[in-house]
A = this chain, B = another copy of it.
Amino acid sequence: MPTQEELIPLSGWRRKLYIIIFEADTRSGRLFDLALIVSIILSLLTVILESVASIRQQWGPQLKILDWLFTILFTLEYLLRLACVHKPLRYARSFFGVVDLLSILPLYLGLFIPESRFLADIRVLRLLRMFRILKLTRYMGEARELKRAMLASRRKIIVFLGTVVLLVIILGTLMYVIEGEANGFTSIPVGIYWAIVTLTTVGFGDITPKTPLGQALASLVMITGYGIIAVPTGIVTAEIARGASATPTDKQSATRLCPHCFSEGHDWDARFCKHCGGTLPRPARGEVS
């Protein structure tokens, strides 16, 4: 994702437009952002309501007009964004650039493939901007913390998912062979689908084992899967807990500094530097909590 600085044009109307559209510190910038959020939510509602048959029958034409209005509005906004940034291609390839484009494409595509126009509500992703706009910096911190925990445990999760995929292919095949097409397990892919539904404890019940052997294997799958479910939870929990406990310790070592040898990492109740023996200044009592 490009940094803001590289995208800002140096001067002129493009700079003014840039500050209104991309920044949120001026009055007009904030008004623009508010108007944007409101129109995203309204356009979302339009798409969702249009999909309900009873509402479509009564309000179909009106909703279609609204739909087109919002799409034209967002198309204009997209073009303006492209026009006012310093390097349009960098914006177009950034996360929000792609989302902005995907938000307007479905309706144009809908002229050729009618059903695809409902995909327009991928524009819900544009609401992610809200975090930045509403200055929810504390939430950003928490989101970063969660993201960090997920990233740190990504390798464990990939190993785990790989094991699940192997397991699911074998179990799906076994159930297909045991239960057969007469009991709903019409092919190996369907068996794999059933194994995923069962291992994740979702349990739709659209396909269920009927033979005693099948039910015995299913019981085994459920109890095994039960133990397996514990693993991702364990991975993520351990990572979040590590993050939580790491923060205060880091603070301790970061806030206390020996004025004699400039070493760090002293316990919060140490009076003398453990490296040179010099006296440490007392920290404020409330500092660590």
Which residues of A line the B interface, CB within 8 A?
44, 47-48, 51-53, 115-116, 118-119, 121-122, 124-125, 127-128, 138-139, 142-143, 145-146, 149-150, 155-161, 164, 166, 169-170, 173-174, 176-177, 180-181, 186-190, 192-193, 196-198, 200-206, 208, 212, 215-216, 218-219, 222-223, 225-227, 229-245, 263-265, 269-271, 274-275
Contacts and interface: CB of A to CB of B under 8 A. Distances in A.
Contacts of A241: 234, 237-238, 241-242
Main secondary structure of the interface of A (DSSP, over half): helix
A206 B176 CA distance: 19
Which 6 pairs show the lowest CB-CB distances between chains A and B? A202-B203, A234-B237, A204-B205, A205-B205, A238-B241, A234-B236
B229 A233 contact: yes
Contacts of A156: 142, 145-146
B229 A240 contact: no
A180 B113 CA distance: 14
Determine how many copies of this chain the complex contains: 4
Contacts of A180: 115
Contacts of A116: 177
Nearest to A115: B177
A185 B218 CA distance: 17
A263 B267 CA distance: 14
A244 B236 contact: no
A52 to B, nearest CB: 4
B226 A230 contact: no
Nearest to A232: B230
Contact of A139 (B158, B164, B240): B158
A108 to B, nearest CB: 16
A274 B155 CA distance: 37
B227 A200 contact: no
A203 B197 contact: yes
B161 A223 contact: yes
Contacts of A187: 48, 51-53
Contact of A196 (B169, B219, B234): B219
Contact of A231 (B53, B146, B186, B208): B146
Q: Which of A142, A174, A243 has the most B CB atoms < 10 Å from its CB?
A: A142
